[in-house]
Structure 1
Amino acid sequence: MFRLLLLLLLSSLSLWAQAHILVYHRFADPRYPSTNTSLKQLQKDFLYLQEHGYKVVPLSKLIKALRQHQPIDPRWVIITIDDGFKSFLKAFPIFRSFGYPFTIFINTEPIQKGYPDYLSWQDLKKIGKYGEIGFHSHSHAHLTDLDEHSIITDTQRGIDLFKNYLGYRPRSYAYPYGEYNEKIKKILKSLGFEAIANQQKGVATDPLDLSRIALTPHTTIQKALKIQGVKAQWIEPKNYSPDHLLRHIKVKIDPRYKKAQIYITNAGWQEVEVKDGLIDQNLSIKLTKRRVLMIIKVKNSKISTKLLVRSRYGAK
């Protein structure tokens, strides 16, 4: 019986995803150093993936595997590009030369208005032959500052533009600024998206809450690929409290871990006990920032993260 239970546990762990989803923004555009990647650096990144045995696969392949509970190769890497900037055309030949698939998440409003810094619909038709086009909202607004009607309206505008200019409905969505709450997640799920991506450091585990790692001057591809996740279910808090007070953290994690550390923005790290796979910690922390990052870290620096974002409207 013990051997059977052990085999079941190991089997379930092997099905849990450890794929890494990377995020780029601009290419060869030094006006924006914090989100820019030079073509030389992009070439180095891709050579690193190639030389170290990583497999760059389409986002849709990962989503299919997650939905069908198939094993996830830990060497899988998914490349995403946010915003749909025109500078992607400079990087496009490098993607083609390596044969790497990609998903580019676009904001439809600046494209529809013909802003010169953004790709055109014609560009996207060409690019779409070699990669996937996802949705990054219509207006790139802070969704936590919008009411439900405004979120639905913004989303539907973009969906209609996809249908009109690209001939299909987008299947994947990436939150603008990586910001969301439970209400926003439910709205987008109800609108039929098969994959929803955030921008929190971690690994991909849930098709409707995909962690992605943004590559920046401070987070290199080498650092990004060293990040390993711990399977965790965040029970509390679900959202940013209206009174700005964090009272309780409750998270289910792998019961093999007996101790963990928790990080909270402006409060730092603290040790917590894990009892039968449960972190259940009472707190009294005043939240002063609009965005509050929470991180659970266990042995071997495996992490799980959650972002709380203050909202003008209800978050449930």
Structure 2
Amino acid sequence: MKKIIKIAAGILTIGALCLGVFWVYLWHNYEVPILMYHTLDASRVNNYAAVSPQHFYEQMAFIKKRGYRVIPLEDYCRMVVNRQTYAHNLVVITFDDGFGDNLQAAEILRKFDFPATIFLVADKIGTDMHLSAEDIRTILSNSRVGIGSHTLTHRSLDTLGSEALKHEIAGSKEKLRSTFEREITTITYPGGGYNNETIEVVRDAGYLCACTTNRGFSRTRELFALRRIKITDRDTEFSLWAKLSGFYNLFRRLRKP
């Protein structure tokens, strides 16, 4: 009987140690979830990049109800720069491309008092289905939504030479700065593509941080390759909860930069 008790105690001890190690592993691999949206066009909800206005509202309500704290991307990046510890309930919200319906998204975000960043393709402002300069000024003055660069023309940065890279990265920063009279400190890579030269040019242009998509291995504190989590119209409350957990990236299929 004593032998059985000793064996059971040993198993429990080993189990507790394994659980402790796993918990430490999770804790050190926590990533503040950076949510990635594109458009609220309800006619395109079957497209991976679209979320209907109703579902977007419900997703924001879920974030509010669950007690998450939405912070600007710049604030998170400064936490990383300053090596600050942060609570495990933070969330960052981003939109790529600057589609015209982002005006509606900004209004929904304003109702919840949530900050966000819309990444603009500088040469597409006012064209096709994109926000006009006046739309963007309205967003900047009426909400906590800011703007960042999504390059000048939305070319794949990992395919460009040095001069073209500088044109896309530094050129978009300057055009947005002069048009909207505010510093542009953040950028996202079109399609998530980048390489070491891309990061070097982004740094030299004076950006604070850069976002990619589902690329790289461990990007917890990589300022110029911050991974984001795509949110779709198909997300349920459970899948949204998983994506907000801070551990979702541990279980995703990774792609090489």
TM-score, normalised by the number of residues in structure 1: 0.65
Aligned to 1:237: none
Q: Deviations over 1:270-315 (max 9, x none)?
A: xxxxxxxxxxxxxxxxxxxxxxxxxxxxxxxx35875335xxxxxx
- Counterpart check, 1:22 vs 2:41: no
- Residue pairs, 1:86-165, within 5 angstroms: 86-111=100-125, 114-129=126-141, 130-165=144-179
Structure 2 contact 150–188 (Cα < 8 Å) conserved: yes
Aligned to 1:212: 228
Task: Give the Cα–Cα distance (whole angstroms) in 2 for the partners of residues 22 and 203 of structure 1.
Answer: 15
- What SS is found at the alignment partner of 2:130? coil
Q: Percent identity?
A: 23
Aligned to 2:243: 224
Structure 1 contact 178–199 (Cα < 8 Å) conserved: yes
Task: Give the deviation of 1:157 after TM superposition.
Answer: 2.4
Say which of 68, 90, 102 aligns to 1:76.
Answer: 90
Task: Give the Cα–Cα distance (whole angstroms) in 1 for the partners of residues 45 and 89 of structure 2.
Answer: 31
Task: Give the Cα–Cα distance (whole angstroms) in 2 for the partners of residues 87 and 47 of structure 1.
Answer: 19
Residue 125 to residue 44, structure 1, CA distance change in 2 (3 Å):
same
Residue 228 to residue 140, structure 1, CA distance change in 2 (3 Å):
same
Task: Give the deviation of 1:85 after TM superposition.
Answer: 0.4
Structure 1 contact 16–72 (Cα < 8 Å) conserved: no
- What SS is found at the alignment partner of 2:44? coil
- Residue pairs, 1:173-252, within 5 angstroms: 173-200=187-214, 204-217=220-233, 220-226=239-245, 228=247
Structure 1 contact 107–135 (Cα < 8 Å) conserved: yes
Gaps of 5+ in 1: 1-9, 231-301, 310-316
Task: Give the Cα–Cα distance (whole angstroms) in 1 for the partners of residues 253 and 82 of structure 2.
Answer: 24
Task: Give the Cα–Cα distance (whole angstroms) in 2 for the partners of residues 229 and 47 of structure 1.
Answer: 20
Task: Give the deviation of 1:29 after TM superposition.
Answer: 3.7
Q: Deviations over 1:75-95 (max 9, x none)?
A: 000000111000111222211
Structure 2 contact 119–149 (Cα < 8 Å) conserved: yes
One-letter code aligned to 1:100: F
Task: Give the Cα–Cα distance (whole angstroms) in 2 for the partners of residues 303 and 68 of structure 1.
Answer: 28
One-letter code aligned to 1:51: K
RMSD across aligned C-alpha pairs, in angstroms? Answer: 2.7
- Counterpart check, 1:308 vs 2:256: yes
Task: Give the deviation of 1:45 after TM superposition.
Answer: 0.6
Task: Give the deviation of 1:50 after TM superposition.
Answer: 1.5
Aligned residues: 227
Residue 117 to residue 65, structure 1, CA distance change in 2 (3 Å):
same
Gaps of 5+ in 2: 1-22
Going by fraction, where is helix more abundant, 1 or 2? 2
Structure 1 contact 204–212 (Cα < 8 Å) conserved: no
One-letter code aligned to 1:213: I
Task: Give the Cα–Cα distance (whole angstroms) in 2 for the partners of residues 84 and 95 of structure 1.
Answer: 15
